[in-house]
Amino acid sequence: MSRILVAVALMSMASAAAQTLGTLDVDSVELVAGREVAGQPEIAHVHGGYRYLFASRENLATFQRQPEKFEIQLGGACARMGALSGLGSTGIRTVFKDRIYIFASEACKKGFLSGPEKLLDSDDPVPTGSDDDRATARQLLDKAVAALGGAERLSKVRSYARRMIREQDYQGRKVKVGDAWTIAVPDRLRRDSIWDTSSWSFVATPDDAFTYGERDCRGLSAAGRVELQRLAVRDPLMLLLSRSRADFVAVAGGRVRVGERDAERVIVHFQGCATTLAIDEASGRIVGCSFRGRGASLRFGKVELVYSEFTEVSGITLPMHVAATFDGKPFDDATGTISEARINAELAADTFARPKP
């Protein structure tokens, strides 16, 4: 369901986004203060692709001093569907915790207001533990590295691509849905999200972040970049490739049962998000993980993944099947078999480049 919601929103707003992101015709400084006051066309300011109107030049100056406080959040993405969704309408808005959010529809706004905390991403707390817990975690991660192919092979990984597509029922017919990831290690990401005959690309590099479809291209907000990065790094290979990062924290979390396997838990935290790995005691393979993520309703909850069908790809042993649950119930959007995985394949020169107009 979540892929369909996002796809419909992206299609419906593509042509409008190609021209302008929109105008907020009420004073955003007054709006954050709880008042709807019409802005004046002669007191206008363009910021982040939006045109803001203000009731006074004093309020314009206030906005310019602290734009992050008074700007439309998530780069204008629908707050109900998340930072990687299509754009909302400036006429369908709300203020939550002194921040302005906009929505693709009144239904989206209603859904958001029923539980905003469950629909907004946030940083996870950094796990705490003793020195022994940290040392044990490092030992377990070293074991997982060996099971994946060894530290030397991992050090030579320069690119990683995987594709997982499945069929889904939609209005009485079968449609193809899924994702294709292309990653140039360490920090160039591309996700192609496929729905039926359409696709949308999300790209983040050190210098740029943007999304595009068949008819438009627009920049990704800081929140969109973060969400894209978090989706990418929870892959077992990407997690282990990130273990030398300065902000990488790993703490042992005790034993757990994954299917018929006895495993040891390692709680990993970096880029503001925590992922609990389940490392098989016998083989050292990462056989599962859990984290706070979006479910089919796009609300955040507990996502649990179980990995199987391990296959060697260019000397790296990867899980090719993922079985997912969300808050303990089957989660079809994240369940499936990886149809293609490539390590160190040559990437096209324009893989991470903005499309030409």
| Tokens describing residue 51 | 């045109």
pLDDT at 9: 45
Q: d(Cα 216, Cα 206) in Å, to the nearest integer? A: 22
Q: Are residues 143 and 289 in the same domain?
A: yes
Q: Are residues 170 and 91 in the same domain?
A: no
pLDDT at 1: 40
pLDDT at 4: 45
Q: Which of 130, 136, 131, 123 is nearest to 266 (CA)?
A: 136
Query: What is the rounded average pLDDT for all residues in the chain?
Result: 92
Per the CB < 8 A criterion, the answer to whether 188 and 159 are in contact is no
Considering the domain boundaries, does residue 355 fall inside one? no
Report the pLDDT averaged over residues 72-94.
95
Q: Are residues 158 and 280 in the same domain?
A: yes
Residue 26 pLDDT greater than 60, yes or no: yes
Task: Show which of 118, 142, 177 is a domain's final residue.
Answer: 118
Q: Are residues 79 and 154 in the same domain?
A: no
112-154 residue pLDDT tens? 999 999 999 999 999 999 999 999 999 999 999 999 999 999 9
Q: Are residues 185 and 211 in the same domain?
A: yes
Residue 308 pLDDT greater than 90, yes or no: yes
Q: Are residues 139 and 112 in the same domain?
A: no
- Tell me the residue range of the domain where 97 lies: 2-118
Q: 223: number of CA atoms within 13 Å, CB side?
A: 20
Considering the domain boundaries, does residue 327 fall inside one? yes
| Tokens describing residue 336 | 């499936």
Q: Are residues 178 and 322 in the same domain?
A: yes
Q: Are residues 60 and 151 in the same domain?
A: no
pLDDT at 6: 46
Considering the domain boundaries, does residue 126 fall inside one? no
Per the CB < 8 A criterion, the answer to whether 191 and 161 are in contact is no
Task: Show which of 59, 90, 118 is a domain's final residue.
Answer: 118
pLDDT at 333: 87
pTM listed for this prediction: 0.88
Considering the domain boundaries, does residue 351 fall inside one? no
Q: Which of 273, 218, 195 is nearest to 77 (CA)?
A: 218
Q: Are residues 91 and 165 in the same domain?
A: no
Task: Show which of 92, 118, 144 is a domain's final residue.
Answer: 118
Q: Are residues 25 and 61 in the same domain?
A: yes
Q: d(Cα 221, Cα 4) in Å, to the nearest integer? A: 22
The model's confidence at residue 15, banded by pLDDT at 50, 70 and 90, is very low
Considering the domain boundaries, does residue 348 fall inside one? no
Task: Give the total number of structural domains in the chain.
Answer: 2
Q: Are residues 228 and 322 in the same domain?
A: yes
Q: Are residues 169 and 50 in the same domain?
A: no
Q: Which of 268, 279, 325 is nearest to 302 (CA)?
A: 325
